[in-house]
Structure 1
Amino acid sequence: MSSQVEQNERAFQKQETVFSGRKRLLGKAARQSQLRYSKSIGLGFKTPREAIEGTYVDKKCPFTSNVSIRGRILRGVVLSTKMKRTITVRRDYLHYIKKYNRYEKRHSNLSAHVSPCFVVKEGDVVTVGQCRPLKDRHLQRRQGRSPGRHLGRQEAVPSFLSRAVPLA
């Protein structure tokens, strides 16, 4: 398994759900089957081809590790990709002011873990799913990507009750 997995960290990289100490049987033909764990996260999202056939190891990836997506599904625009496997997502929304009978623009930023099976650039519209706390500030997990640049307009946030967020 060590020859099939990217080893670019100081520690030995392996998936927790795959046993790599399997003994070979003498006299049998060696199979070239790759030991890799991947799963479907549900909620209408497909498992990316890179997660199934890739060689990366990420213990916080929802497709190749033991992290479940539950709670809210959010959409936003990628603000920053400067951290390793972490992006900053900006969510624009309108807040109603009762006294003036008008709305004001507001925004909130959140940090999201991005799996190595996705290629994300600044300005992309991403779908983020909530999971258990991964770190002190990482409370979200990135699910999908819509290529294109943010044009300054507010994007309609999908209903959280429908859970049918298209993965583009």
Structure 2
Amino acid sequence: MGFEYAKRLSDRPKQLRQLKVAVQSLEAEMMYGLTPLAQAAEHIAKQLPKPVSTVFDLFSEKLLEQEHSAFDAWQASIEVVWPRTALLDSEREVMLQFGATLGQHDRDQQQKQIHLTLAHLAREEQEARERQHRYEKMVKSLGFLAGLLVVILLV
């Protein structure tokens, strides 16, 4: 259990970095490439590893179905994929707030929202790295020692 928790601690900063890259790529696709949102999400999904790519893949699929608004498609994608990530609810809220602005504003306002989201993700990534450095070794050691205690008690 200790090693599994330590893996989650180390996966969280990686996934936050991937989310930042994804949001930056989305900005480039929307602002400079003038790519439609569904196609931009599809391109981003191909560039990233799972589980972050799955968010953008599902988002693209739901947009192409044309039964969902951009926010509904984003929210549904986040809700499906989030349990498979090492990310916390605070990051989920940041991404949901970002999704609420997708396609709702002009290019300048959209770009401001993207930069705000990137700032939030950078802050969360810094906190995740600090938490990883602080607790990763301790959690691994506690997991190993707890396993050793169980073995000793069983013998």
Give TM-score scaled by structure 1 length: 0.23
Q: Which has the larger radius of gyration?
A: 1
- Report the structure, 1 or 2, having the larger strand content: 1
Give TM-score scaled by structure 2 length: 0.24
- Report the structure, 1 or 2, having the larger helix content: 2
